[in-house]
Structures are given as C-alpha cells and as structure tokens.
C-alpha cells in the first residue's frame, strides 16, 4: 500500500512498481493508470498526478479562449461519438 497526501487528506492506494530498462514503471491497481519515471520517486509523483487527473480532481475543460491561444478553432473542437479508429481498438 502506498500513502500520499493531497489537500491534507491521506489516501491509501494499492500500486505495482517495477524496474523497466533505465526507469521505473508504476500502476495504480484500482484505476489501471500507469506511468513511469527515471527514479522510483519520480514515478510515484507522476502516478499521483495522473491518478488525480483520471479521477477529475485536477484539470479543467479548456475555455474557447484557451483553445484559440493554442491555435484550435473551438467550433472544430467536438467530441466524436461512435466507434474508435482502428488503431485505438
């Protein structure tokens, strides 16, 4: 079990961590989120951020202004319904 603190709360999560080439890979068992880092500590930090993003605890949907700043036309920024492309299946 790994413990982390976020906003003063203590979260206990089951993880799996293993060395992979010159880095460390780590998976959060409950969500299936996997990240890696050059060190064990970096892998843990990356996992904490990735799980928080996965659970909607951080981040936000971009505003039209933010999309325009990135060169994206908000009118063309739509969520596609239907089947995934072949390479994502």
Q: Please state the domain count of the chain.
A: 1
Residue 84, domain member (yes or no)? no
Residue 85, domain member (yes or no)? no
Q: What's the pLDDT score for residue 41?
A: 96
pTM above 0.85, yes or no: no
Look up the domain containing 22 and give its range: 2-75
Integer angstrom CA distances of residue 30 from 14, 59, 63, 81: 7, 20, 31, 26
pLDDT in tens, 43-72: 999 999 999 998 989 888 888 999 899 998
pLDDT category of residue 34 using cuts at 50, 70 and 90: very high
Residue 12, domain member (yes or no)? yes
Integer Cα distance of 67 and 35 in angstroms: 26
Q: What is the DSSP letter of 57?
A: S
Q: What's the pLDDT score for residue 39?
A: 97
Residue 87, domain member (yes or no)? no
Q: What's the pLDDT score for residue 3?
A: 46
């Amino acid at each position: 079990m790994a413990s982390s603190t976020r906003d003063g709360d203590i979260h206990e999560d089951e993880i799996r961590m293993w060395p992979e080439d010159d880095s460390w890979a780590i998976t959060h068992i409950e969500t299936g989120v996997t990240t890696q880092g050059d060190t064990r500590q970096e892998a843990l930090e990356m996992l904490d951020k990735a799980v928080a993003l996965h659970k909607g605890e951080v981040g936000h949907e971009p505003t039209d202004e933010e999309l325009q700043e990135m060169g994206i036309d908000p009118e063309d920024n739509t969520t596609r319904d239907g089947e995934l492309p072949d390479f994502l299946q």
